[in-house]
């Protein structure tokens, strides 16, 4: 199994191109199930999760074609992918595929809407909380579906098609919002989704569905209205830039010092995180090219943060910010409100010399720690990259094991950091 080897101490200087967002790419790919025409996605990132979802969609009959390189296209540019579900040949999403990635459960919405029946395995995924699928099932039932849980599968049917309805999410859920929005696009009548997720990835999916002929309003607010249509058609859509990758590299620059242009990044997608970074003493400049991040000689200040649904501070940047706060002056408190088990990186950061204490869903980070390289173990996607950016400033060599987590969500991380002066490489364990 591969590992990442890092020798700390170098500043980051240069340009890092920001890839297409994983959390947008996955529902956009799943949306291809809604039409028998071709969906073309530009700026699709090269990630393990994208490859895994490709396999799952292929099982349903979706053809998948990657365009070849064009003149002037660099190795870091996103892919252009053609997906077409001309005919759904299998409405079962088997355990051996779905168990590898939670987001694959979202196929239940499009399959049910288009085929009026499906059998989808209950999901697996990262160990950062239970994340039940109750909201998905209750929402689809509100749209008229009959759903039973049998031997680990959600067996769903809607013989007369899904029917428009009003459904209020008991708790904000990005995945359930994606799923019900896709399902309602082909339902009979009008659907209103209340307490919906407002994340940019939800808006990106809505924009793609609208390009496919869906009638959706309110995406990006807590109330989304979908007027069902009989049929959706093909479209071409560009995946928005990854705000979590943007925030991760911004925090890496804040940690090491230096100056980096995050090319293609959009500040509006993570303004709360950028505001927090500025409070630490990091300089943020928004340009037409992207976001410039710099810290040249100034000490980092401790800042308290609480994770919240968008537009709040993202839970997916919590681990990275915790790594950053180990280098700040003073003590910071980080409160996690989204997932109940997302502090597994604390013990691994402690192996590098971090001083962090836990109190329920709060982590108290004593800044000013002198981090020293060590062997550490990645526990989930975002925790793994927090160990990488900690390794960038740790004295000596850090080896991050189980980096398959990184490959799920960060495209060519070693190449991007190496280009900016980091000493980092992938090694075969």
As a whole number of angstroms, the distance between CA 5 and CA 51 comes to 25
Spatial CA neighbour of 32 closest among 80, 112, 105, 86: 86
114 labelled as ligand-binding? no
23 labelled as ligand-binding? yes
92 labelled as ligand-binding? no
As a whole number of angstroms, the distance between CA 401 and CA 374 comes to 11
As a whole number of angstroms, the distance between CA 20 and CA 385 comes to 17
Which strands make up the sheet holding 223-227, listed edge to edge?
A: 166-168, 190-194, 223-227, 215-217
Q: Which residues, in sequence order, are bridge partners of residue 118?
A: 156
341 labelled as ligand-binding? no
Q: What angle do CA 140, 144, 149 make, to 5 degrees?
A: 55
Residues annotated catalytic, as ranges: 126
22 labelled as ligand-binding? yes
Residues tagged in the binding site annotation:
22-23, 102, 316, 338
Annotated binding-site members for UDP-N-acetyl-alpha-D-glucosamine: 102, 316, 338
């Amino acid at each position: 199994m591969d590992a990442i080897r890092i020798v700390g101490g170098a500043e980051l200087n240069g340009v890092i191109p920001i890839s297409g967002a994983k959390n947008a790419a996955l529902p956009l790919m799943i949306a291809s199930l809604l039409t028998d025409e071709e969906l073309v996605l530009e700026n699709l990132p090269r990630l393990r999760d994208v490859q895994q979802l490709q396999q799952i969609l292929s099982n349903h009959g979706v053809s998948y074609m990657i365009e070849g390189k064009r003149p002037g296209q660099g190795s870091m540019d996103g892919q252009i992918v053609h997906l077409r579900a001309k005919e759904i040949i299998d409405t079962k999403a088997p355990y051996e595929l779905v168990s590898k990635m939670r987001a694959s459960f979202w196929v239940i919405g499009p399959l049910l809407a288009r085929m009026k029946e499906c059998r989808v395995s209950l999901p697996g995924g990262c160990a950062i909380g239970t994340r039940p699928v109750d909201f998905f099932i209750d929402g689809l039932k509100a749209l008229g579906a009959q759903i039973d849980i049998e031997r680990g599968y959600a067996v769903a049917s809607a013989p007369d098609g899904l029917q428009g309805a009003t459904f209020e999410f008991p708790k904000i859920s990005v995945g359930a919002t994606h799923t019900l929005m896709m399902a309602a696009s082909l339902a009979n009548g009008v659907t209103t989704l209340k307490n919906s997720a407002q994340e940019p990835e939800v808006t990106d999916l809505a924009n793609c569905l609208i390009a496919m002929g869906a009638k959706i309003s309110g995406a990006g607010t807590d109330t989304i209205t979908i007027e069902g249509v009989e049929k959706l058609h093909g479209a071409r859509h560009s995946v928005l830039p990854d705000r979590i990758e943007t925030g991760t590299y911004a925090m890496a620059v804040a940690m090491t010092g230096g100056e980096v242009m995050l090319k293609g990044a959009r500040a509006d997608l993570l303004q709360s995180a950028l505001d927090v970074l500025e409070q630490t003493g990091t300089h943020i400049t928004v340009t037409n090219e992207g976001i410039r991040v710099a810290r040249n000689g100034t000490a980092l200040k401790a800042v308290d943060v609480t994770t919240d649904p968008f537009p709040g501070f993202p839970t997916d940047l919590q681990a990275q910010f915790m790594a950053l706060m180990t280098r700040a002056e003073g003590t910071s408190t980080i409160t996690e409100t989204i997932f109940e088990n997302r502090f597994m990186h604390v013990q691994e950061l402690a192996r590098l010399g971090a001083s962090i204490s836990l109190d329920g869903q709060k982590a108290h980070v004593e800044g000013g720690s002198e981090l020293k390289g060590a062997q550490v173990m990645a526990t989930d996607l975002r925790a793994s990259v927090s160990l990488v950016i900690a390794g960038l400033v740790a004295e000596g060599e850090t080896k991050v094991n189980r980096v398959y987590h990184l490959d799920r969500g960060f495209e060519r991380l070693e190449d991007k950091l190496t280009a900016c002066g980091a000493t980092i490489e992938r090694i075969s364990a």
